[in-house]
Amino acid sequence: MDRDATADVNAPHSMGTTIIGVTYNGGVILGADSRTSTGLYVANRASDKITQLTDNVYICRSGSAADSQIVSDYVRYFLHQHTIQLGQPATVKVAANLVRLLSYNNKNMLQTGIIVGGWDKYEGGKIYGIPLGGTILEQPFAIGGSGSSYLYGFFDQAWKEGMTKDEAEQLVVKAVSLAIARDGASGGVVRTVTINSEGVTRNFYPGDQLPLWHEEVEAHNSLLDILNASSPEPMST
Amino acid sequence: MQMTTIIQMSKQTVNTSKLENPHSVLQPKISLLFYHFSDLKFLPIVSPLHKLYLKMSNEAMDVPKTGFSFDLCRRNEMLTKKGLKSPGYLKTGTTIVGLIFENGVILGADTRATEGPIVADKNCEKIHYMAPNIYCCGAGTAADTEAVTDNISSQLKLHRYHTGRESRVVTALTLLKSHLFRYQGHVSAALVLGGVDVTGPHLHTIYPHGSTDTLPFATMGSGSLAAMAIFESEYREGLTRDEGVNLVTKAICSGIFNDLGSGSNVDVCVIEKGKKEYLRNHLTPNPRTYISSKGYTFSKKTEVLLTKITPLKELVDVVPVGGDAMEE
């Protein structure tokens, strides 16, 4: 009966998370880690926190997994109707405002922080941060989730206006991997989504390809492989 | 107050869950009169396009309260504080798993249902039928998993009649997740949903609060950590059917032997395109071995002094007076 000692697998599914959205000249890049935890157990080590709303607007979800999934489903539905009525692709601003209205009007019930990013022909690439209470804030870059605490200083120093696509992508991957190194609730792989006038590109950086930081050890295969090796190798620290 | 009592009583008679003794005294009262839960009270999300300025806090409303009412929960807490032992409910401690192999999906489950520290059912079925091509394993409160899978299974059947097509796994997924989110985690059902439809094999996990994950292999329940350890070391893409069944069996056995909430036998369900196999009790690693062949004898403790049989006497003699005999 006291099997909750190790993990409460019926705890609400929350995404510890590190989520990032940055603008560069020509579009936006959204980045996220991939860990979903229930209590202390990692329920999904390869989740996809960057969800599509329309062809040109994606969101990064953090906080309660259920709440953020439901909000994104509703907003996708409303945006679809809006697109039909409007006759053109929806703008990022409209998508962000729909998210904001749901978050603000249900603030007592919901626990989710969202970053909306996309590209439209009127404003170009835009990032909107919508944290817990339902504020909407248009920013050149936004960070969210538990791992973002470790990135405020980093972005203050490393962010520059008008980066190229590759610079921005490297910045996002570096930032998420730094947060993963320090935040227990973030981990797994780094996923990025690049949105610009040409379309959408998804990228994936497995955990062992990320740069190593202070006192981090290289990933290697199970030490049980040593049993199959001919001579024992010294263990690394 | 009176209305609440009436509903309470009717709930007692209607209760047909696995429990022998309906513990409706300590269950939250569900407003049986209103099936559709109002968007305002319990389904918190309202359309922003039409209800921009709606206040979420409690307003005095003319519309009667719908959705769950938790008044009785406060009473229950008060009673437990005073020393009343709350009855346990049937939980499936459980190890449930699913994995995708080269031709489809394999689901596995143990068969122990617990009520607190006691094993209430040694051989229960945790793999529930949703559609001919979709099955769902359930962990958590047995009544909840049973009810929610039956409900969504009916909805899927109606949907099949309506559309004239085979059900898709994402349909079942959306119906289940909306239902569970609406109940904000109080329907304690953690599910592993798997099936093969026109778009291919799918495997999803659904948590009691309504969040879902899509995975190539998944485990849920109290034995999920033990089973996940097996999967993480041995799963690979493109397993054959036999390899897949063996891996699932191994994972469930790991849960059965290492988790107290799981035990007894292994059920497996293999779903491929166009066919399915429900292997009930695929493996029985816990047979009852020490059965006395003589049976049980109980020595007589009470001596019989006298045996007297008295036939029941009729107290009333029925004399037909005349007139028509009673119909029926």
CB neighbour class for B5 (10 Å; exposed up to 12, middle 13-18, buried from 19): exposed
List, edge to edge, every strand of the sheet that includes A19-24.
A141-144, A19-24, A27-32, A190-196, A199-205
What residues of chain B, 185 to 204, have a C-beta less than 8 Å from chain A?
185, 188, 190
Judged by CB atoms closer than 8 Å, whether chains meet at B48 and A98 is answered as yes
Is it the case that residue B326 has pLDDT exceeding 80? no
Cα gap A6→A8, rounded to integer Å: 7
**Hey, are the CB atoms on B212 and A69 less than 8 Å from each other?**
yes
The residue of chain A with its CA nearest to that of B211 is: A66
* Residue range B134-151, pLDDT digits in tens: 999 999 999 999 999 999
Please state the rounded mean pLDDT for residues B38-64. Answer: 46
9-38 in chain B: CB under 8 A from chain A: none
Structure confidence at residue B53 (pLDDT): 41
* Band of residue B56 on the pLDDT scale cut at 50, 70, 90: very low
pLDDT at B147: 96
- Reduced to 3 states (helix: H, G, I; strand: E, B; else coil), residue B199 is coil
Subunit contact B207:A74, Cβ cutoff 8 A: no
- Please tell me the predicted confidence (pLDDT) of residue B23: 40
Q: Which residue do the tokens 């590209």 mark?
A: A119
Confidence bin at B37 (pLDDT 50/70/90): very low
How far apart (Å, rounded) are the C-alpha atoms in residues A215 and A136?
38
Confidence of residue B296 (pLDDT cuts 50, 70, 90): confident
Q: Report which of residues A162 and B77 the model is more confident about.
A: A162
Measured between CB atoms, does B225 come within 8 Å of chain A? Answer: yes
Q: Is B228 helix (H, G, I), strand (E, B) or coil?
A: helix
Interface of A with B (CB under 8 A): 1, 3, 6-7, 9-10, 12-13, 36, 38, 41, 43-44, 46-47, 64-66, 69-71, 74, 78, 98, 101-102, 105-110
> Is B94 labeled as catalytic in the residue annotation?
yes
- Where does the pLDDT of residue B73 fall: very low under 50, low under 70, confident under 90, or very high at 90 and above? confident
Is residue B7 over pLDDT 50? no
Q: What are residue B267's DSSP bridge partners?
A: B109
Span B235-288, pLDDT tens digits: 999 999 999 999 999 999 999 999 988 989 999 999 999 899 999 999 999 988
Name the helix (H) or strand (E) containing B225.
helix B224-234
Q: What is the pLDDT of residue B301?
A: 82
| DSSP per-residue codes, B87-152 | PP--EE---EEEEEETTEEEEEE---EEETTEEEESS---EEEEETTEEEEEEEEHHHHHHHHHHH
* Of residues B46, B211, B221, nearest to A13 (C-beta): B211
Q: What is the mean pLDDT of each successive set of 10 residues along chain A, which is 237 residues long?
A: 45 79 96 91 93 96 95 97 96 97 95 96 96 95 94 95 94 95 93 96 90 81 62 58
A17, A23, A36, A91: the active-site residue: A17
0.80 surpassed by pTM: no
SS3 state of residue B175:
helix
Residues of chain B with C-beta less than 8 angstroms from the C-beta of A7: 225
Chain A contact probe: residue of B41, B45, B204, B262 with most A CBs at under 10 A:
B45
Catalytic one among B94, B145, B171, B205? B94
**pLDDT score for B205:** 96
Give the pLDDT band (50/70/90) at residue B203. Answer: very high
Taking contacts as CB-CB distances below 8 angstroms, the residues of chain B near A6 are: 225
Residues with Cβ < 8 Å from A135, sequence gap 6 or more? A100, A104
On whether any CB of chain A is under 8 Å from the CB of B49, the answer is: yes
What pLDDT, on a 0 to 100 scale, did the predictor assign at position A232?
A: 54
Q: Quick one: pLDDT at residue B51?
A: 44
How confident is the model at residue B267, as a pLDDT?
A: 96
B51/A64 CB distance under 8 A = no
Give the residue, B210 or B24, on which the prediction is more confident. Answer: B210
Does ipTM come in above 0.95?
no
In percent, the amount of chain B with pLDDT more than 70 equals 76
A87-96, B77-86, B152-161, B306-315, range with the lowest pLDDT: B77-86
